[in-house]
Chains A and B, each alone.
Chain A
Amino acid sequence: MTRHRWLVFSYFAALVALWEALARLGLWSPLVFPSPMAVGAYLVHALADGTLADATRVTCRRLFSGYILGLMFGAPAGLLTARFKIVQDTLGVIALGLQTLPSVCWVPLALLWFGQTETAMLFVVVMGTTWSVLIAVDAGVRNVPPIFARAARTMGSRGLHTWLKVILPAALPHVVAGMKQGWAFAWRSLMAAEIYVTILTGFGLGHLLHYGRELQAMDQVVGVMLVIILIGLLVDKLLFSPWERYLRRRWGLAL
């Protein structure tokens, strides 16, 4: 292992050791401040009996279907608002307004419209994702230097060709940033929805967190929080890092 990796490893080891030490001091009740050992024991147990895997599967299914739907609505709509003034002044204004609305505020409406169903859950995630993706794509396209399109026109590029071969690739750094932001919004809105909405069609990580609180099981609460963080990190590394590496290499951008 390199020196750098050792440093990173020791950092995290020290963090866990400090946590364990604090727990052993007994300043707080284990009901409030569980030791890493207790959290670890819960995670092992929950992994063994399948609750954690099931909850992760349920959550990820909702997350990705909602996120992909949000992208499917948001990205083309963002292109339209950037291209047509009339769409900008209508849909664009609505998007700007709705984007400021914290996605958890959609939950009461979703519950009344769809009841305690998967649809309600999906609706909240889609609402959380769409508007931020729309606005990011719109901004990305608007930030494309006009000189690119002008240069392309002199070389004989027109209309759709200019959009597909010039405007879209030129907006890519912003679009990726928008997708990343959209993902963050989707993740947050799903957790809010899962904690609020009790449904019987599947227990997600948010539900596990919620029941941890109801049962005063702090080891479960902290354990599930760790899993949620881990999923966020993994998606960042697996889904977005390759794109960002590509942009850094091609554009010479520091992202």
Chain B
Amino acid sequence: MICDSEEVAAKLTLQGVTKTYRAARGSVDALREVSLQITEGQFVCLVGPSGCGKTTLLNIVAGLDEPTGGNVLVDGCPIAGPGRDRMVMFQEPALFPWLNVLDNVLFGLRLKPNLGRRERREVAEFYLQLVGLQKFARADVHELSGGMKQRVALARALAPNPRVLLMDEPFAALDALTREQLYGDIQRIWKERRKTILFVTHNIREAACLGDRVLLFSAHPGQIREEFLIELPRPRDINSVHLAEHSARITRALKRHLTTETEAAA
């Protein structure tokens, strides 16, 4: 088994991942027995209402959070904490304000062994170009707009060439117009760089626009309820009618699950 074949998109496997929080009144299952297989280079969206545990799941895959039970495997090898093979893009850009744009992208590269100074720079500049911000390499973070910041965060996550990209509602705080541009960008970049992507969102249309598969998640306990295959040609336009059909289907399913959930609780 090859565990650190770098540069190639990886297969991501979740086996019975469970996360239990101890609360004042008993324990809460944030995740119960979540199993999932994502093949190399697949774009998978995890969609569900807020508080359903989807971010917890992403954090566990990132290695930032420990599961109570179960395993996360990258190409068959269990993960141990955060790793360069899985990079994360958060809802906030989380860029470092004491570094300029280029140095932010270089941060992860500097931690990657076997890279020369010139090589690192070339890589960083390549990814800044990929997100269309090569002219802003020397800019300070606070000079950028929200959309530009997320672009830098994307370049920073891509630069160390991870095998899996984990995205936690990265576009949620952006305005609709900027978001549309970024849908185009992320599809183009995914096609060029072929990453395995796990994308968490509460926006169903966004999930249908981006994902090969959309997994519907709901809480109490946090589990995958239904899966949808989106077989539409790419690049997809968020406003297309075909997309609307898919997102309507997913929305109906979500509503159904929410009602049964409320009935069960009552």
Contact = CB atoms under 8 A, between A and B. Distances in A.
Interface of A: 145, 147-148, 150-157, 161, 165-166, 169-170, 172, 249-252
Given A147-B90, A150-B64, A251-B142, A156 B96 contact: no
Nearest to A246: B98
Interface stretch (B79-87, B128-136, B201-209, B248-256): B79-87
B183 interface: no
A155 B92 contact: no
Contacts of A165: 107
A152 B107 contact: yes
22 contacts: A145-B94, A147-B94, A148-B96, A150-B64, A151-B88, A151-B94, A153-B82, A154-B86, A155-B84, A155-B108, A155-B160, A156-B83, A156-B84, A165-B107, A166-B96, A169-B96, A169-B98, A170-B98, A250-B98, A251-B98, A251-B140, A252-B141
Nearest to B83: A156
A154 B98 contact: no
Contacts of A155: 84, 87, 107-108, 111, 156, 160
Interface residues of B, number: 26
B62 interface: yes
A-B pairs with lowest CB-CB distance, top 3: A252-B142, A155-B108, A156-B111
A211 B45 CA distance: 78
Contacts of A152: 107
Interface string B104-148: 000110011000000000000000000000000000111100000
B140 A249 contact: yes
Interface in B236-263: none
Nearest to B160: A155
A243 to B, nearest CB: 12
Contact of A250 (B62, B83, B97): B97
Contacts of B88: 150-151, 154
Question: In this complex, which of A154, A157, A172, A250 has the most chain B Cβ atoms within 10 angstroms of its Cβ?
Answer: A154
